[in-house]
Structure 1
């Protein structure tokens, strides 16, 4: 197998991997890179129909990326009570996905404040926590797969700051949740992660 074939395989691999992405933005970026590489490979081996098709895929991905990134997603936050029936429904419906990031999470977890983040009228995120003065000990900070680009968290944390919450603390973050916390500016503090708002 020569280097040119390896380039073709790598381009194909990226296109396949892109289809596994839960974030539409990541899917478009990785697919565009894979299609670009495969376009180059097709040109090298003189497979012009394949090159033309992959070049069109690059253009389609770039166009859709532009639309995705230029359309600002609007969010709103609704604070609900701990026994809110819609909140309980969401926690039940998302339980399997929640457990991927919060393996210890149980629907019976105790919390004093609950926030549902909505995009238009649809729920896209949930934050549960226990208030301790101007701090909130976070028990759950969950976003639906389509909205895992940190935008839900940024909006929510700004909203919490306007509500007088100054500190967030997350205990015992799982290995899948810790990268998100670091990306959002949380700092490891012993076994916890902490963030000033």
Structure 2
């Protein structure tokens, strides 16, 4: 197969993959890459309509990526009670996706916790992004550390902005609620990479997976 044909197939593949992305920013990035290769391919084979059309698509993607990078978004935390109807509906709706990254979090067994009003050691926070409930974090206060049962972000908002808000810009919020040492398990490679990127350190491993910790007092 000629290298020019491979270029065309590669461009088609990348564009197709981009359309499968649930995250808008990744859709734009991959679509930009695919369109750029398609544009080069079009000019090489002297199919100028293909070249110019895809060059225009590249410019459109660049425009929206720049616009997204400059857009100021409002982030906030909203604590809810364990018997919140919306909390349970949220977990039910995203349960399948949650289990991909948090296989230890079983909704059916955790449902007992969600309905236990007397358990004051477990707190539930929605992460609001422009008032949209884009994520959920569940933290349990233990004797020597604070265990994160769930740190979940819905697919459309997985661009690390929420993580930056939670663990970088909003650390004082954790201090105000008495959290100083955060710990969690990672049994998925993507989750491990995410934890390392936001500042967690691997400290151990057990039968449930790798154990990561962030000591806020040392940050």
2:183 to 166, 169, 181: 169
SS of 1:67's equivalent in the other structure is helix
Partner secondary structure for residue 163 of structure 1: helix
**Is the CA contact (8 Å cut-off) linking 1:100 and 1:176 kept in structure 2?**
no
- Cα distance, 1:112–1:160 mapped onto 2, change above 3 Å: farther
Gapped runs of 5+ residues in structure 1? none
Structure 1: which 4+ aligned runs deviate by more than 6 Å? none
SS of alignment partner, residue 185 of structure 1: coil
How far has the Cα of 1:95 moved from its partner?
Answer: 1.0
Mean Cα deviation higher: 56-65 or 116-125: 116-125
CA contact (8 A) 1:7 1:41 kept: yes
1:127 to 133, 137, 142: 137
The two structures, once aligned, show a CA RMSD in angstroms of 1.8
Q: How does 1:1-197 map to 2 (within 5 A)?
A: 1-107=1-107, 108-109=109-110, 110=113, 112-132=122-142, 135-157=145-167, 158-164=169-175, 165-191=179-205, 192-197=211-216
Question: Can you give the 5+ residue segments of structure 2 that lack an aligned partner in the other structure?
Answer: 114-120, 206-210
Between the aligned partners of 1:188 and 1:166, the Cα distance in structure 2 is: 17
CA offsets per residue over residues 22-62 of structure 1, 9 Å max, x none? 22112111111111111111101010111111011101101
* TM-score, normalised via structure 2 length: 0.83
Question: 1:80·1:116 contact (CA, 8 Å) conserved in 2?
Answer: yes
CA distance in 2, matches of 1:64, 1:137: 38
| 8 Å CA contact retained: 2:102, 2:150 | yes
- The two structures have a TM-score, normalised by structure 1, of 0.92
